[in-house]
């Protein structure tokens, strides 16, 4: 299908860059902070993970002429979190279920699509569709599937070259899955997994990019004393755990940020939260629980531990070091420093020395934080506030579980020296008292967790421009609601970001002034990217509301109903004139259905509520749909009658994202149905019709929740 062949794909990229001076590529320094040029070859642009483009054709002066060049409809998709790569005239990206798309970067025409159909092969590991993108090296595209397989595809044809399992085939890893983008590092491809909330053990695995042969694996948390024997990093980590943590669960999964430092031949991995969340359940009596909530530096060739920096010792609040880790060179106190910059979910902004993993300055607060007054520069440890570890049973904490900053990429412009961070503000209640489990709360492994909107600014978000040298905010823009997209900074002096409300915006990188916007017709959670071909700069973004938002549905429902709006890839250029068909607008009304004949028992409702945790990640907490990744079941005709509801649960609709629930008994299905019907009646303002209590056994959740 391609008309020109320019030698190896990598060489073609270099050629483009060399022969198109008109594009105005501004220089950058080497060894980090240099950003991306005509091509966008890794999930955050270049190896530095800075989501920064050196292209400078689109500027504050001309951005008002930016228009849609083309768009591509993606009818099979729901939640789109990936940022496309641009290599040799082709855009590559993944859909929610790790399908890979290759699209002509000039025309928007689909070249090929690869569908791993994970649901056919591993129905047991099938969960909601979220995938954060693909990696590229030397003519190959790499994607990680939900069940942990890593696939290598021929970039030209989409043909599967090899497929390897990145998750150990043992029962204790049954809840691990892969949602992140792999990274390539000089002939190797590396991927981690998700599943820490259910106690899953974290690790990363490196494969030979040519053959798929496993080269090494690093566990982020210790195993049993037997497993740890002889491994210095795991033995050291094990000294920070108590009890039989290898049985109770550990967490520490690596599902997003990984940064390859070619100069040092190191990979920096962002390790997720500890799980179970309640530290007393996983490591009774104390311990920092290494290496959860940490950045860990590994030797890229051997996978051996080099250093770690723990952002949250003994994490108790789902705080994760998973957001993107940006490599740069900064001048601190007059000295050039090679640094890593990080805005984890806990709300602080960290600048670490790449060599040592030590702080180079005192972390600042990017949002409202109540769990710590600050970070002690000398020890690197947080100064925690009293009563935040639910010592008295419950704690209200900011940032909450979606974090100050989550997977939505932050970007760094070496030109302005600022980091552009998508910040959300929502608090969380953590409670050991199960009576706190209201309908907008979830019980995650014995701890009740619920979003809180009560401080000024809660339920809103900001785009924060942060000065990493002074550790201060330079400017900020406030958005109407949380869960907006990642950012792109460009050498043209612009910052791009999509919002939950469906706007794609461009700001002046120095002042934060909004200079341009486009109505995308649907909420955006992905980050944009930029590339150039034949002297023309393009900006692309995937539009697909969703992600983990359903678990936070009481805060995040902004009215994008399941299936109502088309998912798309949008590409912009100066002078672009294409138009999008009109989409249905946001709709906050719930069109709940009711069967007046149905009698519902209180006991069934209570049991069904516990069981509904198995549905939460897709249908919302308390069946309060948030538009994605599943429909609002209060409106579903299929869910109205018990028989059609039961049939849907038994059979699933796997190709559309609805799993099979073979483990549910008839009693449990009736209980789930009763709870759902009661929730629908609540919307309609109807009282539940009384029915005699059944003596059905209390529901027991056999599968923990993964999200």
Among 9, 330, 614, 626, binds ligand HEC (CB under 6 A): 614
Among 271, 570, 648, 683, binds ligand HEC (CB under 6 A): 648
- Closest CB 643 distance from ligand HEC, rounded Å: 11
**Closer of 233 and 628 to ligand HEC (Cβ):** 628
**Closer of 504 and 623 to ligand HEC (Cβ):** 623
305 binds ligand HEC per the rule CB under 6 A: no
- Closest CB 273 distance from ligand HEC, rounded Å: 21
641 binds ligand HEC per the rule CB under 6 A: no
Interaction with ligand HEC in 616-635: which residues (CB under 6 A)?
617-619, 629-631, 633
- Spatial CA neighbour of 407 closest among 258, 205, 202: 258
* Residue with the CB atom nearest ligand HEC in the bound state: 615
Q: Which residue has the tokens 């050991």?
A: 432
State the Cα–Cα distance between residues 367 and 102, nearest whole angstrom. 38
Stretch that binds ligand HEC, among 17-25, 430-438, 569-577, 612-620 (CB under 6 A): 612-620
615 binds ligand HEC per the rule CB under 6 A: yes
What is the token pair recorded at 689? 């019709």
**Closer of 40 and 675 to ligand HEC (Cβ):** 675
SS3 312: coil
State the Cα–Cα distance between residues 12 and 5, nearest whole angstrom. 9
Neighbours of 88 (CB within 10 A): 25
How large is the angle between the packed helices 666-684 and 642-651, nearest 10 degrees?
120
- Closest CB 703 distance from ligand HEC, rounded Å: 9
**Closer of 576 and 657 to ligand HEC (Cβ):** 657
- Closest CB 631 distance from ligand HEC, rounded Å: 5
What is the token pair recorded at 567? 């998912």
Among 636, 675, 677, 679, binds ligand HEC (CB under 6 A): 636
- Closest CB 656 distance from ligand HEC, rounded Å: 4
Stretch that binds ligand HEC, among 7-15, 52-60, 197-205, 656-664 (CB under 6 A): 656-664
**Closer of 456 and 637 to ligand HEC (Cβ):** 637
- Closest CB 119 distance from ligand HEC, rounded Å: 10
Site map (CB under 6 A) of ligand HEC, residues 558-597, x = contact: ----------------------------------------
State the Cα–Cα distance between residues 699 and 646, nearest whole angstrom. 16
Interaction with ligand HEC in 97-136: which residues (CB under 6 A)?
127-128
**Closer of 423 and 649 to ligand HEC (Cβ):** 649
Stretch that binds ligand HEC, among 183-191, 355-363, 580-588, 657-665 (CB under 6 A): 657-665
Exposure string of 608-624, with b = 16+ CB inside 10 Å and e = fewer, is bbbbbbbbbbbbbbbbb
State the Cα–Cα distance between residues 447 and 359, nearest whole angstrom. 33
Among 638, 684, 690, 693, binds ligand HEC (CB under 6 A): 638
* Cis peptide, bond prior to residue 291, ω within 30 of zero: yes
What is the token pair recorded at 190? 């590396």
- Closest CB 609 distance from ligand HEC, rounded Å: 12
State the Cα–Cα distance between residues 554 and 684, nearest whole angstrom. 17
What Cα–Cα distance (Å) separates residue 58 from each residue in 8, 62, 411, 475? Answer: 29, 6, 17, 22
Size of the site for ligand HEC (CB under 6 A): 25
**Closer of 193 and 659 to ligand HEC (Cβ):** 659
Contact by Cβ (8 Å): 249, 237: no
- Closest CB 668 distance from ligand HEC, rounded Å: 9
Interaction with ligand HEC in 198-217: which residues (CB under 6 A)?
none
- Residue 594, CB half-sphere, CA atoms under 13 Å: how many? 17
How many angstroms from the chain centroid is the CA of residue 553? 16
SS3 551: helix
Q: Which residue has the tokens 């059905």?
A: 696
What is the token pair recorded at 490? 């460009």
Among 507, 661, 675, 707, binds ligand HEC (CB under 6 A): 661
**Closer of 42 and 178 to ligand HEC (Cβ):** 178
SS3 223: coil
Which residues face 299 on adjacent strands?
A: 266
- Closest CB 121 distance from ligand HEC, rounded Å: 16
Interaction with ligand HEC in 165-184: which residues (CB under 6 A)?
none
State the Cα–Cα distance between residues 268 and 342, nearest whole angstrom. 11
**Closer of 377 and 663 to ligand HEC (Cβ):** 663
639 binds ligand HEC per the rule CB under 6 A: yes
**Closer of 507 and 645 to ligand HEC (Cβ):** 645
DSSP 5-29: --SSHHHHHHHHHHH-GGG-PPP--
What Cα–Cα distance (Å) separates residue 557 from each residue in 290, 442, 523, 539, 654? Answer: 35, 17, 11, 28, 24
Could you confirm whether 115 is annotated as catalytic? no
SS3 604: helix
- Closest CB 691 distance from ligand HEC, rounded Å: 20
Contact by Cβ (8 Å): 349, 343: yes
- Spatial CA neighbour of 186 closest among 71, 244, 283, 264: 264
Catalytic residue, candidates 48, 147, 318, 632: 318
80 binds ligand HEC per the rule CB under 6 A: no
**Closer of 222 and 629 to ligand HEC (Cβ):** 629
Stretch that binds ligand HEC, among 14-22, 204-212, 359-367, 609-617 (CB under 6 A): 609-617
What Cα–Cα distance (Å) separates residue 451 from each residue in 319, 346, 421, 554? Answer: 14, 15, 21, 8
What Cα–Cα distance (Å) separates residue 195 from each residue in 136, 234, 308, 615? Answer: 25, 20, 21, 16
SS3 687: coil
Among 672, 674, 683, 699, binds ligand HEC (CB under 6 A): 672
- Closest CB 619 distance from ligand HEC, rounded Å: 5
Among 658, 674, 678, 683, binds ligand HEC (CB under 6 A): 658
What are the residue numbers of the active site? 318
Binding stretches for ligand HEC (CB under 6 A)? 127-128, 614-615, 617-619, 629-631, 633, 636-639, 645, 648-649, 653, 656-659, 661, 672
């Amino acid at each position: 299908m391609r008309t020109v062949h320019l030698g190896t794909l990598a060489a073609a990229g270099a050629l483009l860059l060399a022969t198109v001076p008109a594009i105005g590529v501004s220089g950058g320094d080497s060894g980090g902070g240099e950003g991306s040029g005509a091509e966008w070859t890794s999930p955050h642009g270049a190896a530095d993970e800075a989501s920064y483009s050196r292209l400078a054709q689109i500027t504050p002066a001309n951005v008002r002429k930016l228009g849609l060049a083309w768009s591509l409809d993606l009818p099979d998709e729901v939640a789109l979190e990936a940022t496309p790569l641009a290599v040799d005239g082709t855009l590559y990206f993944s859909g929610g279920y790790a399908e890979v798309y290759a699209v002509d970067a000039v025309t928007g025409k689909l070249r090929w699509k690869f569908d791993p159909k994970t649901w056919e092969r591993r129905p047991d590991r099938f969960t909601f569709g979220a995938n954060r993108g693909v990696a590229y090296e030397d003519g190959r595209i790499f994607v990680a599937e939900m069940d942990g397989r890593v696939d290598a595809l021929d970039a030209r044809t989409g043909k599967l070259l090899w497929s390897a399992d990145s998750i150990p085939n043992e029962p204790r890893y049954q809840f691990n899955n892969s949602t992140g983008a792999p990274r390539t590092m000089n002939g190797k491809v590396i991927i981690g997994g998700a599943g820490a909330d259910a106690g899953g053990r974290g690790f990363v695995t490196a494969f030979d990019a040519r053959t798929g042969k496993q080269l090494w694996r690093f566990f982020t948390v210790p195993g049993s004393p037997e497993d740890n024997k002889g491994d210095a990093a795991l033995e050291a980590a094990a000294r920070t755990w108590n009890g039989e943590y290898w049985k109770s669960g550990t967490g520490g999964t690596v599902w997003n940020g990984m940064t390859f430092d070619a100069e040092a031949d190191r990979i920096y991995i962002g390790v997720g939260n500890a799980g179970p969340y309640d530290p007393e359940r996983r490591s009774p009596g104390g311990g920092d629980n290494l290496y959860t909530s940490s950045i860990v530096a590994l030797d890229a060739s051997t996978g051996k531990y080099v250093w770690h920096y723990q952002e949250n010792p003994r994490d108790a609040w789902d705080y994760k070091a998973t957001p993107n880790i940006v490599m740069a060179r900064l001048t601190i106190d007059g000295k050039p420093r090679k640094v890593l910059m990080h805005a984890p979910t806990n709300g602080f902004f960290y600048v670490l020395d790449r060599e040592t993993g030590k702080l180079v300055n005192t972390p600042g607060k990017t949002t409202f934080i109540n769990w710590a007054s600050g970070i002690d520069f000398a020890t690197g440890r947080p100064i925690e506030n009293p009563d935040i570890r639910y010592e008295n049973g419950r704690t209200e904490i900011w940032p909450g579980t979606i974090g100050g900053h989550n997977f939505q990429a932050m970007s760094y412009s070496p030109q302005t020296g600022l980091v552009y961070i998508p910040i959300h503000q929502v608090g969380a209640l953590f409670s050991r008292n199960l009576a706190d489990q209201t309908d907008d709360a979830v019980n995650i492994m014995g701890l009740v967790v619920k979003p809180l909107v009560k401080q000024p600014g809660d339920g809103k978000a900001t785009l924060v421009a942060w000065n990493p040298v002074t550790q201060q905010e330079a400017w900020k823009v406030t958005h109407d609601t949380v869960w907006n997209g990642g950012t792109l900074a460009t050498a043209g002096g612009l910052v791009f970001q999509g919002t939950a409300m469906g706007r794609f915006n461009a700001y002046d990188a120095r002042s934060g002034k909004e200079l341009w916007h486009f109505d995308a017709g649907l909420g955006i959670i992905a980050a944009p990217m930029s590339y150039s071909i034949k002297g023309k700069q393009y900006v692309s973004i995937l539009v697909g509301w969703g992600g983990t938002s359903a678990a936070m549905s009481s805060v995040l429902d902004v009215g994008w109903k399941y299936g109502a709006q088309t998912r798309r890839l949008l590409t912009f250029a100066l002078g672009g004139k294409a138009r999008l068909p009109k989409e249905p607008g946001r709709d906050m009304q719930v069109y709940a259905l009711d069967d007046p004949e149905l009698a519902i028992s209180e006991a069934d409702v209570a049991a069904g509520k516990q069981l509904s945790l198995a549905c939460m990640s897709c249908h919302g907490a308390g069946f309060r749909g948030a538009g994605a990744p599943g429909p609002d079941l209060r409106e579903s005709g299929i869910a109205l009658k018990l028989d059609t509801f039961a049939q849907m649960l038994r059979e699933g609709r796997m190709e559309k994202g609805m799993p099979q629930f073979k483990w549910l008994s008839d009693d449990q299905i009736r209980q789930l149905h009763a709870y759902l019907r009661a929730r629908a009646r609540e919307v309609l303002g109807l009282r539940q019709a009384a029915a005699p209590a059944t003596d059905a056994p209390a529901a027991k959740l056999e599968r923990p929740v993964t999200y």
